[in-house]
Amino acid sequence: MVMATIRQRIAGRSLTPGSKLPSIRGLAGTLKVSASTVVEAYERLVAEGTIFSRPGSGFYVASQAAPLSLADIGPKLDRAVDPFWVSRQSLEAGDGDLKPGCGWLPPSWLPEDGIRRALRKLSRAAGPALADYGSPLGLPRLRQLITRRMAERGIEASPDQVMLTESGTQAIDLLCRFLLEAGDTVLVDDPCYFNFQALLRAHRAKIVSVPYTPSGPDVELLGQALAAHRPRLYITNSAIHNPTGATLSPVVAHRVLKLAEQFALTIVEDDIFADFEHTPAPRLAAFDGLDRVIHIGSFSKTLSASARCGFVAARREWIDNLIDLKIATSFGGGRLNAELVLNVLSDGGYRKHMDGLRSRLSRAMFDVTGRLKTLGIVPWIEPQSGMLLWCRLPDGVDAAEVARAALAKNVVLAPGNAFSPSQSATNYMRFNVSQTLDPRIFEVLRQALLEARRSC
C-alpha cells in the first residue's frame, strides 16, 4: 500500500523527479502503518530505481520513475490485438509452425539457390567485403542497381540520393528521428501495417488515420484530416498496400500529392513489396520526383529476411543528416548483407525466380480465396499481386477471438484490429496466401469460427 501510494503520487506528478519524499515517521502516521512498513517499501522503491536515498537527508524521486514501455503508450489495447501481437507471434513461431497471419514468405519460396551461390561467391571475396565496415551511404554498386530498379517503376534518383539501411523499418525509423519531435502528429492508413503504429509509439508521435479504399486513401477524409490535424508525415504503402493488398490509382496519387503540397506534408512511401508486382502501379515518388515523397525499399520480402538490407531514397540535402543519424545510432552499415543482396540481384537467376514466384502466388491467391469462401470468409478485394489478402469474417465474429482460439492450436493469425488505429476492423483478418496452403489451417479456422460464433 505504501509503494502504491508513492507510485500514484509520482504518476500524478504530485511528486516530481528530484523532489523529496515524506519522512518515514510522517508517512507512517498519515497512512496508519508502522515505520518499518514504510522503511521496507522505500527500500524496495530504491531497489527498483523509482527513488533514491541521500544519506543524512532522506529519500528522493529518481530522475525518471518509469522506463519507456511501448505497451503503456497510447490507448491501452487488448494484448491479443495490439500492434505487436502479430509480429511477436510470427517471429517467435518455430520454423515448422503454421502462420497464415505472418507477413512474409516461407523460406522455401525465396531464392535459396541464389543465396547459396552468393554465399559461396562471397567466401572468395576480398577482405574488406568480409570484415570491414560499409561506407556511410552503403555499397556503391548496390545503390546504382537500386536506382536502375527504381527507374523501372518511374522513379528518378541518383545513387547519392540512396542510403542503404539494415532494413526498411530502420529506414523509416531514421526518417522519424530526422523529421519528428515527440508529440508531432503522423497520418497513417486505416488499416495500415501494424508496425507503423509500433514505430510511431516509440517516437511518441500522435497517430491519426484515414480509411483506405481499394484505390488508395479516402481523399475527402484525407483533406479533412490534414486540415484538422496538420500532420508532419504520412506513412503509407502504394503499389501493394499492407494489409489490404490494394493498389493506389493514378487519380488518387495525383490528389494525394496536391493535398500534400497544400498542407506542406512529407510522405514516406514504403515500397517493400515492389518485386511482387506483375506490372508497375503508380508510385507517389514517381509522380512527385522525390520532392516531398521519400521512398523506402527492402529485400526482406522477396530475397531474404535473414540477410537484412533496406534503403531510403530522398532529397540529396537530407541524406547527410540521415547518414549522421545512421552512424550515431547504428554506426557502419552491414556490408556483408549488402554484398550478398548485390550478388543475388546481379545473378540472372533472380528475375527467373521472381517470374516463377509471381505465378505461384497467383495460384495460391486463387486457391486460398476459394477455400476461405467456403468458410464464409470473404476477400475485401481481389489483389492484383502479392501475398496479402484482407478478408471479412462472417457477421458478428470477432477476429481477435478467432485468433486466440487458433493460437491455442499453434496457428498464428492476424486479426484486423492489429492493423486498425481506429479499432474498426474487429470483423477483418489478414491472410498471407503463401502461408495458408496447409489443409490443417482451414480445419483450425472452421473450429475457431464456430467457437467465436457461439460466444457472440
Least separation in angstroms between residue 384's CB and a copy of itself is 25
Residue 107 sits in the site that holds a copy of itself (CB under 8 A):
yes
Residue 59 Cβ, how far from a copy of itself at the closest point, in Å? Answer: 10
d(CA 246, CA 281): 11
Among 11, 133, 151, 443, binds a copy of itself (CB under 8 A): 133
Rg, C-alpha atoms of the chain: 25
Taking the least distance from each CB to a copy of itself, the nearer of 230 and 371 is 230
Residues 244-263 that bind a copy of itself (CB under 8 A): 262-263
Q: How far is the CB of 1 from a copy of itself (least distance, A)?
A: 22
Q: Are strands 293-298 and 162-165 parallel, antiparallel or unpaired?
A: unpaired
Q: Which three cell numbers stand for residue 233?
A: 508525415
CA angle 162, 198, 296 (to 5 degrees): 15
Residue from the set 9, 149, 230, 255 that interacts with a copy of itself by CB under 8 A: 230
Site for a copy of itself in 318-377 (CB under 8 A): 318, 321, 323-325, 327-337, 339-340
Give CA–CA dist 234/210, Å, rounded: 10
Chain-centroid distance of CA 246 in Å reads 17
Q: Are 288 and 257 in contact (CB under 8 A)?
A: yes
| Residue span 48-77 as binding mask against a copy of itself, x where in contact by CB under 8 A, dash where not | -xxxxxxx------xxx--xxxxx------
Q: Select from 177, 254, 358, 392 the one that contacts a copy of itself (CB under 8 A).
A: 177
- The reply on whether position 232 binds a copy of itself by CB under 8 A is yes
Nearer to a copy of itself, 391 or 412 (CB): 412
Beta-ladder partners of 430: 390, 414
Interface with a copy of itself in residues 369-428 (CB under 8 A): none
Residue with smaller CB distance to a copy of itself, 284 or 452: 284
CB nearer a copy of itself, residue 294 or residue 372: 294
**Binding flag, residue 87, a copy of itself (CB under 8 A):** yes
Total residues at interface with a copy of itself (CB under 8 A): 99
d(CA 314, CA 318): 7
Name the segment binding a copy of itself (CB under 8 A); options: 29-37, 103-111, 274-282, 419-427: 103-111
Exactly one of 10, 115, 163, 188 binds a copy of itself (CB under 8 A); that residue is 115
Among 181, 279, 370, 454, binds a copy of itself (CB under 8 A): 181
**Which secondary structure element, helix H or strand E, spans residue 147, and what is its range?**
helix 140-152
In the DSSP assignment, the letter for residue 134 is P
Phi, psi (rounded to 5 degrees) for 432: -105, 110
- Whether the Cβ atoms of residue 185 and residue 200 lie closer than 8 Å to each other: no
Task: Please state, in angstroms and rounded to a whole number, the distance separating the CA atoms of residues 456 and 58.
Answer: 56
| CA angle centred on 91, ends 85 and 95, rounded to 5° | 135
Helix (H) or strand (E) holding 388, with range, is strand 388-392
Largest CA distance in the chain: 80
Binding-site string for a copy of itself from residue 290 to residue 309, where x marks contact by CB under 8 A and - marks none: --x-------x---xxxxx-
Nearer to a copy of itself, 200 or 239 (CB): 200
Asked if 178 touches a copy of itself (CB under 8 A), the answer is yes
Residue 237 near a copy of itself by CB under 8 A: no
Q: Which residue has the cell 496519387?
A: 253
Residue 436 interacting with a copy of itself (CB under 8 A): no
39 contacts a copy of itself (rule: CB under 8 A): no
Residues 6+ apart with CB under 8 A from 158: 147, 316
